[in-house]
Chain A
Amino acid sequence: MTTAADKKTGYPTVAAADKLAPIQKMVRPCIQCGTCTGSCPNLFAMDHTPRQLWRLVLTGQKDEIFKSKTFSLCSDCYTCTLRCPRGLPLTEAMDALKQIAVEENLKNYRHSSLFYESFIRSLRRHGRVSEMEIMINYFAGLMSPLAPFRFVSLGIRLMLKGKISARWPRTPRMPLEKIFQKVNELEKHT
């Protein structure tokens, strides 16, 4: 995994082709001050603190990063990004880690991947998302017969209010198909 040390910084780097490389670039100036850790509302549920996570990124310890729950617990509140004295895009770095976890279909990130994928699928089919369709796909993907029960009472309340429809979602129109395809094409080239 780890290859040579970066000439300027002395940090070990991962191969340029490695997916961590762009994230290392994002957090390279990190001074390990811990402002991000002190700002994070989800810290109580994390195993590694955000500060430790950036260190793991810089030292290319991919296995440890993706074994950890830390990146998946970022709720995009942007407090660390706002406060970082080095002005680093930390929330975007967390999102970049989530993107890798989705791409590599990591097992302990399965719930989140499924949720995001259900969301994107609904969006791709209709151009706008249908909450009911997302949840149906999400539960189907979880393959756990008990998973939906936590949401049943909320679902019923929303249905009674007429806010979500119990009907099977609209037929797909795929209005964003060209955009999706072009994004895929450009991403392959970079």
Chain B
Amino acid sequence: MKYLYYQGCSLEGAALEYHLATLGVMNAAGVELIDIEDWSCCGASAAEATSYLLSLALPARNLAIAEKMAGPRDILVPCSACYLNLKKVEEKTREDRKLLDKLNRILSEERLQLQGKIRVRHLLDVVANDLGAEKIQSMVKKSLINLNVAPYYGCQCLRPYAVFDDPEAPRSMERLIEATGAKVYQWKMAAECCGASHMNTKMEVGIELVAHILENARGADAVVTVCPMCQMNLEAHQRKISRRHHEDLSKTILYLPQLLGIAMGISDKELGLDLNLSIDNRFYKKLDKAARQKPKWRAGKQHPKPDPDSAGVRDAAG
């Protein structure tokens, strides 16, 4: 299996471990990922909040570059925000020829052209439907039998385009969690919003949304996410939230491929577990590794950066 791979800005920085774990799991499963050459930012939610046309032109550029490349026609996207932005162009241009022409007038400035031949796929879609739970199960080396894991989907991989799962009652992660030997923690927050960029501009509101999610995760050993924004919101403010709610609401938050990778026996380093902001000792104990120490603090400093040659053209300092 081969896919084009859109890494996205977050996965170069604050969500580097998502990138590492995705590569780790895909590599172990024999899936080849081909970087999109000279990809650029999808615009996130900032482009949409400033200019409608820009919010479509930025992802369109990446799709047009992908079309020019040889090989697979499916782009694998781990970040839900990137996924939605790219998907939006795919969906809108399919029905709206005038919009496609307009975008092509913009893209022609870079001698690019969009024809609509690329299919945008979320990482969860590919893992759940192309690889499948049975394949994952066959690769499990260490059953996570003691763990109770809460699947957290967030919003933008599910809505507004219901592509691979029920947009309000999603279940695609459940079989994957079960494949690792862990139990699925049933909760009502799986498809609720984490507040997205509220955490930067309206922190009080963001904190409340995340607190509600963490409160509902009380009985779980870990929450797994498929989006860098969800991950950051859930893991980065736990101390503040616990203080405000007079209750220890700290929780291990992992990216889905990290959980799968742990069960597959991929090393902590390869999965970037030392880069997570919130993995507590209770989790490691439950992993039946009481003897094992938590990855060293500051270990991230020595972390191997992704190979620059494999990632298309980058800045010298990138």
Contacts and interface: CB of A to CB of B under 8 A. Distances in A.
Contacts of B160: 78, 81-82, 91
A160 B44 contact: no
- Report which residue of B16, B167, B200, B316 has the largest number of chain A beta carbons within 10 angstroms of its beta carbon: B200
A143 interface: no
A96 B315 CA distance: 34
B105 A170 contact: no
16 contacts: A42-B198, A77-B192, A78-B159, A82-B162, A116-B46, A117-B50, A120-B46, A120-B47, A127-B40, A138-B200, A158-B14, A160-B301, A161-B298, A163-B13, A175-B38, A186-B105
B200 A75 contact: no
A131 interface: yes
Contacts of B192: 41, 77
A180 B51 CA distance: 11
Interface string B28-62: 00000000001111011111111111100110010
Contact of A82 (B52, B58, B167): B167
A112 B298 contact: no
Contacts of A173: 315
A164 B205 contact: no
Interface string A80-110: 0110000000011001101100100000000
Contacts of A158: 14, 277
A164 B52 CA distance: 29
Interface residues of B, number: 65
Contacts of A181: 109
A161 to B, nearest CB: 4
Nearest to A90: B160
Given A116-B49, A161-B300, A176-B58, A76 B317 contact: no
B53 A111 contact: no
Interface in B215-237: 236-237
A10 interface: no
B151 interface: no
Given A82-B159, A119-B46, A157-B277, A179 B106 contact: yes
A162 B301 contact: yes
A78 B163 CA distance: 14
Given A115-B197, A160-B300, A178-B110, A73 B202 contact: yes
B38 A102 contact: no
A68 interface: no
Contacts of A170: 315-318
B14 A160 contact: no
